[in-house]
Structure 1
Amino acid sequence: MSVREKFHDDLKELQEKLLSLGKFAEGALSKSIDALEQQNIELALEIIDNDNEADLLYEEINDFSILLIAKQQPVAIDLRRIIVGIKIATNIERIADFAVNIAKATIRIGNEPLLQPIVYIKQMYEISIKMLRLSLEAYYDEDTLKAKKVADMDDQVDELYGQAIQELMKINLQYPELMAQITQLSFTCRYLERAADHMTNISEHIFYLVKGRQFDLNN
């Protein structure tokens, strides 16, 4: 195997590691919403306990990327592939952290009946999961059209976030005794909104990979 072929295989391995981290984050986010909706404390604790897997994979991606740069001294798009890999890994790891935060909010709410069905939260989650899957597809395919779709979907999450917070504030005025739960549900909405922002960041990194310059897709 030539040096170039070995480097190509290493880049594919980096890509696979990133996709594995993305799959983990998707699963953690999905479980966190299930735990909240079902008020399943055991599942919430499991999400928190398993977070070290994401941390270890993130560190592995960083170490592997640095080693690739040191050994191969890549230039142009190959260097961008490695740099973008590191940046995307950082965003995915943060998404997994938000799943942990939602799990902690679930634990803080405990067994107190939810004040209402978490409709807005579920809608934000469903769009966010689509964004995450599509952003990973865009990364794998190096497809800026898919990346742009992800960024466009972020506007929907932002709109739902605003509606959810308004609704929670109205409930708080009527039932101030529910302030503790309302606070945790508000935090959960914020975690999903921030997770969607990180998915948009992934899209921007894909544009940098393909086009060779930075794009702001949040405007």
Structure 2
Amino acid sequence: MSIRTTLDKDLDRLKELLIEMVNLSKIAVEKSVQSLATQNLEMAEQIIQEDQKINDLEEEINNLIIQLIAQQQPVASDLRAIIAGLKISNDVERIGDLAVNIAKSVIHIGDGPLIKPIVDIPKMAEMALNMLNNVIKAYIEKDIELAIETAKEDDEVDALYGKTIKELLELMPSKPDAFNQISQLSFVSRNIERIADHTTNMSEHIIYMVKGKNVDLNA
């Protein structure tokens, strides 16, 4: 088997691992928000336990990348794909961690009455997950325009985050006994907002992979 054939095979494997990692992270985020809406503490615990699968995939990706650089002869475009893959895997691992943070907040809140209906938080999560779906599609198809458009959606997540935090803070004076729950719901909102930020980072890595240009889509 030629060096080029082996390299292409390893690059395909890198892509497969990244897609698997993204899918696991998406499921973790979906379940974490669902566990909040239903106050399912058992589901929250499960999310925390299953995070190791995402960490293991990141380690496998790191080992594959070391092998690619050490044993193959990647040209410039290959190196960009390898570096982008490394950076994307780091962002996806962080998304998995953020899902775990949400699950921990669910456990802290417990199964007592909620101070308000959980509406905007699932809506925010849906927006962030839609970004994640689009960004992995942009990665697979090397679609720069989709990557840029996906990053723009971060502004909508930020706006809903600001609205949610404002409403939670306004509850403080009238519900001092609910300080813990308000704090935890604020943490959940912040973690979802950070998921959208990491997805925006992934859009930047895709542009670098395709064009070799470093751009700041958070500006």
2:140 corresponds to 1:146: no
**Residue equivalent to 1:190:** 190
Give % identity.
48
Offset of 1:19 from its aligned partner? 0.3
TM alignment of 1:37-48, pairs within 5 A = 37-48=37-48
2:41 corresponds to 1:2: no
Offset of 1:123 from its aligned partner? 1.2
| Counterpart secondary structure, 2:172 | helix
- Structure 2 regions of 5+ residues with no counterpart? none
TM alignment of 1:37-116, pairs within 5 A = 37-116=37-116
Offset of 1:88 from its aligned partner? 0.1
C-alpha separation in 2, matches of 1:217 and 1:121: 24
**Residue equivalent to 2:173:** 173
Is the deviation greater in 54-63 or in 2-11? 2-11
The superposition leaves residues 157-208 of structure 1 with CA deviations (integer Å, 9 ceiling, x where unpaired) of 0000000000001111211111100000000000000111000000000011
Offset of 1:2 from its aligned partner? 2.3
TM-score, with normalisation over the residues of structure 2? 0.98
In structure 2, give the amino acid aligned to 1:126: E
In structure 2, give the amino acid aligned to 1:210: V
**Residue equivalent to 2:29:** 29
Residues 29 and 96, structure 2, Cα contact 8 Å, conserved in 1 = yes
C-alpha separation in 2, matches of 1:98 and 1:61: 20
Alpha-carbon RMSD across the aligned residues, in angstroms, is 0.8
The 4+ residue runs of structure 1 with deviation greater than 2 A are none
The superposition leaves residues 39-77 of structure 1 with CA deviations (integer Å, 9 ceiling, x where unpaired) of 000000000011111111110001101110101131211
In structure 1, give the amino acid aligned to 2:57: L
In structure 2, give the amino acid aligned to 1:107: I
C-alpha separation in 2, matches of 1:75 and 1:66: 15
**Residue equivalent to 1:157:** 157
The superposition leaves residues 68-112 of structure 1 with CA deviations (integer Å, 9 ceiling, x where unpaired) of 010113121100100100000000000000000000000000011
C-alpha separation in 2, matches of 1:31 and 1:111: 16
